[in-house]
């Protein structure tokens, strides 16, 4: 199968952006660890809010009002649902880092490619090769082993099982967000889609923060810096690089590259925080990575209608 559209590929630019984007993805959990004194909802709200503000000067001159999008067939509730899903995804993922290791949270949150295959099979009746389903079983087995491994490490992460569960739920919510985005993006430009979605995600996180905290939340200088770093790096640069490269590279291959986030995060956490995964955890992470890689090998037997 030809994995690249018929375009003149600016190889150097694509490779450079992908490397930069993947590195920023890997450092996202590291940044979060520097602001664990604030509520996860607050950090998620700053991440999405700063992202929307950064994109505002690029979006505004070419903006597509909601009335025009509605005329093009884009329902407002779909954009709202996508924004709410993204807000919940970021919130659950940030919260998971309060309870479990960077390596475990990063691996579990990148389980969404496997979940997406299940969703496509059930919702869109897509057909997959037996080797794909084998990969799904292996990957989910690895995630279960990882949960047991961290739960047994009570000294460093006494609530690791809770953190791993939050990271796993974050991946589930991301699948919902991705499926909504795929439907919306058929009729919208990238800049319109991400600006509205980031805006609705910010509103979601702010409302949830007010409900959860019950007052004015704690906001520190460090958390503002971390929120801005998350917006500029993993969100705008990381996702932006992926959206640029998808014109030239198969989305399937790009999804596989996201798995490198766990490796970068684990290496960075070792040098910065001294987090040393147990032997059992390392084996479990390798099983997950092997399962997801196997899942995306010759992904589809027949394209969905």
How much is the pLDDT for 229? 92
Q: What is the mean pLDDT of residues 135-158?
A: 68
How many other C-beta atoms lie within 10 A of the C-beta of residue 139? 26
Is 3 part of any domain? Answer: no
Across 5-9, 64-68, 234-238, 287-291, least confident range = 5-9
The answer to whether the beta carbons of residues 292 and 131 sit under 8 Å apart is no
Question: Cα–chain-centroid distance for residue 297?
Answer: 21
Average pLDDT estimate for 272-286: 77
> If you ran DSSP here, which 8-state letter would residue 188 be given?
S
The number of angstroms, rounded, from the C-alpha of 20 to the middle of its chain's C-alpha atoms is: 16
Kindly state whether residue 1 falls inside one of the protein's structural domains.
no
pLDDT greater than 70 at residue 292: yes
Q: What is the pLDDT of residue 303?
A: 45
User: Is residue 197 a part of any domain in this protein?
Assistant: yes
pLDDT, mean of residues 124-151: 72
Give yes or no for residue 280 having a pLDDT over 50: yes
- Find the domain containing 66 and state its range: 11-302
The answer, yes or no, to whether residue 3 has pLDDT greater than 50, is no
- Of 14-28, 187-201, 207-221, the range with the highest mean pLDDT is 187-201
φ, ψ dihedrals at 126, nearest 5°? -75, 145
Distance CA(174)–CA(190), nearest Å, equals 18
Q: What is the domain count for the chain?
A: 1
Q: Is residue 41 part of a domain?
A: yes
Q: Would residue 235 count as lying in a domain?
A: yes
Residue 6, domain member (yes or no): no
d(C-alpha 99, C-alpha 101), whole Å: 7
- Whether pLDDT at 302 is above 90: no
Q: What is the pLDDT of residue 251?
A: 54
Map residue 127 onto helix, strand or coil.
strand
- Looking at the DSSP assignment, which residues form a beta bridge with residue 223? none
The pTM is what? 0.75
Q: Are 179 and 80 in contact (CB under 8 A)?
A: no
């Amino acid at each position: 199968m030809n994995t690249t559209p018929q375009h003149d590929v600016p190889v150097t630019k694509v490779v450079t952006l992908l490397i930069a984007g993947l590195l920023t993805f890997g450092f996202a959990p590291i940044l979060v660890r520097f602001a664990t004194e604030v509520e996860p909802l607050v950090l998620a709200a700053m991440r999405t809010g700063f992202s929307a503000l950064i994109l505002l000067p690029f979006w505004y001159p070419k903006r597509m009002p909601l009335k025009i999008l509605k005329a093009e067939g884009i329902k407002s509730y779909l954009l709202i649902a996508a924004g709410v899903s993204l807000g919940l995804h970021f919130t659950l993922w940030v919260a998971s880092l309060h309870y479990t290791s960077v390596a475990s949270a990063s691996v579990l949150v990148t389980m969404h490619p496997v979940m997406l295959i299940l969703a496509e099979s059930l919702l869109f009746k897509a057909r997959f090769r037996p080797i794909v389903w084998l990969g799904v079983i292996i990957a989910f087995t690895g995630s279960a082993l990882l949960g047991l491994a961290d739960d047994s490490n009570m000294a460093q992460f006494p609530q690791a099982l809770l953190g791993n569960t939050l990271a796993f739920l974050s991946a589930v919510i991301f699948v919902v967000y991705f499926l909504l985005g795929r439907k919306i993006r058929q009729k919208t430009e990238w800049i319109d889609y991400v600006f509205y979605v980031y805006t609705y995600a910010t509103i979601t996180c702010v409302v949830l923060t007010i409900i959860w905290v019950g007052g004015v939340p704690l906001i520190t200088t460090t958390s503002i810096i971390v929120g801005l770093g998350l917006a500029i790096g993993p969100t705008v640069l990381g996702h932006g690089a992926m959206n640029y490269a998808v014109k030239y590279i198969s989305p399937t291959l790009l999804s596989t590259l996201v798995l490198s986030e766990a490796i970068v995060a684990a290496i960075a956490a070792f040098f910065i925080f001294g987090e040393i995964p147990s032997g059992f955890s390392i084996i479990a992470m390798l099983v997950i990575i092997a399962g997801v890689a196997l899942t995306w090998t010759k992904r589809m037997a027949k394209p969905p209608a």
